[in-house]
Amino acid sequence: MKKVTSVILAMMMIFSMTANVFADELKEVKHKFSSIPHSYLNELVNENISEEDLEFFNQQIEAYNPTEEQIYNYVNELIHPEIVPKLSNKSIKCRRDENGNIITPYGILPKMDLLQRTNNFIRKLDYDDSCDNFRIDDESLDTTGVYYMVTGKNSYNKIAAFASLAEVNNVQPQDRPYQMFSFNTSSSDGEAYGDMGLVYMPEDDSWHIFYNVVEVDVENRRQNYGHVFEFDYEKNIYMTLELKNRENSDYAKLRIRDAETWQTIQTLGFYFLYGDGDFVKHNMSTTSVSKAITIAQHKDEGVPLKIDTGTEMHNAEFWGTKLFKKSGYGKTFDIDLCQDAVLRGPTKEAVATIYYDSNNDKWTNDRVSIIFEK
């Protein structure tokens, strides 16, 4: 009888110690993610949601003070990811024409030579100007389009912004309006850089969610343009881009939500594969993110950019833009966090097709039009 009692007492002590450890861990989690309502946090912890996902959720609550409905929808999708539309993150193998433009079932897409990211797109330390105003690059080596682009400082691996899609008129078959986020990241394996966002395809009068990414060498370019963005284009959206450091393969993920409800409309992910897939350093020290609004054009090699096609892209907007590190508070994307702000095109006349609201807060809010006037 004494042995049975001893065993029971020992089990009770172990249970008590385990309960105390769990309580201490939960207390620590509640302190670490204090902006997530405790009732939801308990549920998320019980569902083994990763600390990385909890961290970003906590950061967004701190940054945007979402409504109860928005929080509920966000939590529901973390716990039940199957309710989020499943998009293939595999590259779509598309033929190219002799000029390198991509032939897709939805029409031809411009080459948009991302190789320029290493020396022409991303601001390097040899630029002495500040981000108080735009840097004008009217001799761009990339002759495929014109760009409004703002890049954040290194070590920020996440960007979020509300957005209104541009009103597009008379878009010609060779022109493609883009509203997107971009990234640049590097390690001992080399650089990886690319765009993830939305592109308008006049052939089917639809915006498409896409990625266009290069790893180390332009030959290691992968694209996916195969998903129509199914949403009311007159409604606002909430976009996030995350770059994640993973043990097996680093990862970039674009998510687009309904701005009003925070319900996910679509997501698209990209796994880095070149070498060991390790492009995103653990401390994010060589990672930067950008936002860009552009019209690109597919054309023959050596042929000048045609800026009188009649294509019009009006009032593409980002607002409330925030940058985030792996942990800590999100910060407003302002002058202090800006690495480069540039208007880019191959000629002065091309750059002059970009119109932007100079009264907007730099660089939190953007309202941009690009007009290839006929």
pLDDT in tens, 314-336: 999 999 999 999 888 999 999 99
Strand partners, 244: 251
Contact call for residues 238 and 163 (beta carbons, < 8 A)? yes
Average pLDDT over residues 306-315: 98
128 pLDDT more than 80: no
Q: Of the ranges 4-18, 172-186, 326-340, which one carries the lowest mean pLDDT score?
A: 4-18
User: Which tokens hold the place of 119?
Assistant: 């020396």
pLDDT at 120: 44
| Residue 122 pLDDT | 45
Q: How much is the pLDDT for 50? A: 92
CATH hierarchy code of domain 95-371: 2.60.120.1270
Task: Indicate the domain borders of the chain.
Answer: 2-83, 95-371
Q: How far, rounded to the nearest angstrom, does the alpha carbon of residue 330 sit from its chain's CA centroid? A: 15
Residue 301, φ and ψ in degrees, nearest 5: -60, 130
Comparing 226 with 9, the larger pLDDT belongs to: 226
128-137, 247-256, 299-308, 358-367: lowest mean pLDDT where? 128-137
Q: What is the pLDDT of residue 115?
A: 43
Mean pLDDT of 337-344: 93
Residue 314 three-state SS? strand
Q: Coil, helix or strand for 298? A: coil
Helix axes 38-46, 68-79, angle to 10 degrees: 10
Local confidence band at 177 (pLDDT 50, 70, 90 cut-offs): very high
CB under 8 A, 24+ apart: contacts of 42-48: 43/75, 43/79, 44/75, 44/78, 44/79, 47/78, 47/79
- Looking at residue 221, its pLDDT comes to 81
Is residue 237's pLDDT more than 80? Answer: yes
pLDDT for the residue numbered 1:
57
Site of tokens 């309960």? 19
| Measured distance CA(372)–CA(374) in Å, rounded | 6
Q: What is the C-alpha to C-alpha distance for residues 215 and 201, in angstroms, rounded to an integer?
A: 26
Distance (Å, whole) CA 138 – CA 151? 18
pLDDT of 96 higher than 90: no
